[in-house]
């Protein structure tokens, strides 16, 4: 199979500067960006997801930012099927495309395809959903840890849909979800270059705390309050909104909610770092290391330097 072009994947944890790097590379190569951040797919969720505004995108076209309504769900497979023709159009025009995001399942869906899994058991799924509604996510996570610690370690533990799906597979098949996952290989029709944003833990956590403070200053509390009637949608069962809903319920003070957002964001970032560390194909670079980025992509002779301002 002939190679049609280069797909540069910009990954890494939340608040690590992925968008800035993607925009800089997009301008440098006069190309476009495919977003694989599932939290940023939703139109109504702006501040709580740190979705970049037009001024931050600097005219670089981005696909799949803010295109879904809250009641819509979009699986990794649906994302990959929608992103594939976009990717092909970009490669045909420029020979290079950018894929950016922190949602590993969505990135892998486009790069590798999805694992075939056993057919679901509707009865078990409904039982798990009822437990979630009555007891919350914590008991389900405890059960998943007991049945399949490998999946518990890597899964997005703030995402009820994924936790319930993994438990459903464990319970319906009698085997751990992780044992039923294959190791799909990268697609071979494009050259793939993976670049993960690299920060020290201290620096990253400081950036996360600062981002949360900015989101609060930008109006996150008011945004969350306006979305309170829709809190049962999966899209809003995420870090930032979940803690503020607890504040509105009287379970947390405003200060406790903000502190919890920072802590849960750091926990999420740690899992994202673990995900990029699991494969040797990721190149870990600081966002300002423009020289090595261009060398990896194989285009240092294109002339201009990237914008290194962070």
Residues 160-168 have a mean pLDDT of: 87
User: Can you give the CATH number for the domain in which 266 is found?
Assistant: 3.40.50.300
Residues 126-130 have a mean pLDDT of: 92
Residue 307 placed within a domain:
no
pLDDT tens profile 229-257: 999 998 998 999 999 999 999 999 999 99
Q: Residue 151's pLDDT is what?
A: 84
With 60 as the cut, is the pLDDT of residue 299 above it? no
Q: Are residues 26 and 63 in the same domain?
A: yes
Identify which has the larger pLDDT, 96 or 180: 96
Q: Are residues 95 and 221 in the same domain?
A: yes
pLDDT tens profile 203-221: 999 999 999 999 999 999 9
With 60 as the cut, is the pLDDT of residue 50 above it? yes
Domain boundary (149, 180, 211) is at 180
What kind and span of H or E run contains 10?
strand 6-11
Strand order in the sheet with 62-63: 62-63, 33-35, 96-100, 6-11, 191-197, 282-285
**Token pair recorded at residue 102:** 């922190």
Predicted confidence band at 165 (pLDDT cuts at 50, 70, 90)? Answer: confident
With 80 as the cut, is the pLDDT of residue 309 above it? no
Of the candidates 28, 36, 83, the residue with the CA atom closest to the CA atom of residue 58:
28
Q: Are residues 109 and 213 in the same domain?
A: yes
With 80 as the cut, is the pLDDT of residue 305 above it? no
Residue 215 belongs to what domain range? 6-114+184-302
pTM over 0.85: no
Q: Residue 301's pLDDT is what?
A: 38
Number of structural domains in the chain: 2
Predicted confidence band at 300 (pLDDT cuts at 50, 70, 90)? Answer: very low
Q: Residue 294's pLDDT is what?
A: 95
Of 79-83, 123-127, 149-153, 206-210, where does mean pLDDT reach its minimum?
149-153
With 90 as the cut, is the pLDDT of residue 179 above it? no
Residues 31-54 have a mean pLDDT of: 94
What 8-state DSSP symbol labels residue 68? B
Q: Residue 107's pLDDT is what?
A: 94
Residue 310 placed within a domain:
no
Q: Are residues 10 and 152 in the same domain?
A: no
Whole-number Å distance between alpha carbons of 117 and 94: 36
Report which listed range, 52-56, 119-123, 177-181, is most confident: 52-56
Whole-number Å distance between alpha carbons of 292 and 95: 20
Q: Are residues 89 and 206 in the same domain?
A: yes
**Token pair recorded at residue 267:** 């926990």
With 50 as the cut, is the pLDDT of residue 166 above it? yes
Under 8 Å CB-to-CB from 4, ≥6 apart: which residues?
Answer: 88, 91, 92, 189, 190
Residues 24-47 have a mean pLDDT of: 95
Handedness of CA 15, 297, 31, 82 (dihedral sign): negative
Identify which has the larger pLDDT, 184 or 136: 136
Q: Are residues 298 and 235 in the same domain?
A: yes
Whole-number Å distance between alpha carbons of 293 and 193: 10
Predicted confidence band at 117 (pLDDT cuts at 50, 70, 90)? Answer: low
pLDDT tens profile 52-106: 999 999 999 999 999 999 999 888 889 999 999 999 999 999 999 999 998 888 9
Residues 266-282 have a mean pLDDT of: 92
Q: Are residues 78 and 22 in the same domain?
A: yes
Residue 309 placed within a domain:
no
Q: Residue 302's pLDDT is what?
A: 43
Q: Give backbone dihedrals phi and psi of 211, rounded to 5 degrees, phi first.
A: -65, -45
């Amino acid at each position: 199979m002939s190679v049609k072009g280069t797909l540069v994947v910009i990954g890494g944890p939340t608040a690590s500067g992925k968008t800035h790097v993607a925009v800089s590379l997009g301008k440098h190569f006069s190309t476009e960006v495919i977003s694989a951040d599932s939290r940023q797919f939703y139109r109504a969720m702006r501040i709580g997801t740190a979705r970049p505004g037009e001024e931050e995108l600097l005219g670089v076209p981005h696909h799949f930012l803010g295109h879904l309504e809250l009641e819509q769900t979009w699986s990794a497979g649906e994302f990959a099927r929608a992103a594939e023709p976009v990717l092909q159009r970009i490669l045909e025009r420029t020979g290079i495309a950018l894929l950016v995001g922190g949602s590993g399942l969505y990135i892998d869906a486009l790069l590798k395809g999805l694992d075939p899994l056993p057919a679901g058991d509707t009865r078990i799924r409904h039982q798990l959903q009822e437990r979630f509604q009555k007891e919350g996510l914590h008991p389900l996570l405890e059960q998943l840890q007991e049945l399949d610690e490998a999946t518990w370690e890597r899964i997005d533990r703030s995402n009820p849909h994924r936790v319930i799906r993994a438990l459903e597979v464990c319970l319906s098949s009698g085997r751990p979800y992780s044992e039923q996952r294959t190791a799909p290989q990268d697609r071979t029709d494009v050259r793939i270059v993976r670049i993960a944003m690299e920060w020290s833990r201290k620096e990253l956590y400081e950036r996360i705390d600062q981002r949360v403070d900015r989101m609060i200053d930008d109006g996150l509390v008011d945004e969350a309050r306006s979305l309170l009637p829709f809190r049962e949608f999966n899209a809003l069962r995420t870090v930032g909104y979940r803690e503020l809903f607890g504040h509105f319920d009287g379970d947390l003070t405003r200060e406790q909610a903000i502190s919890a957002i920072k802590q849960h964001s750091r926990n999420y970032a740690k899992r994202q770092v673990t995900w990029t560390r699991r494969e040797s194909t990721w190149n870990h670079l600081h966002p300002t290391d423009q020289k090595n980025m261009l060398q990896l992509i194989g285009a240092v002779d294109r002339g201009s330097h990237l914008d290194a301002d962070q």
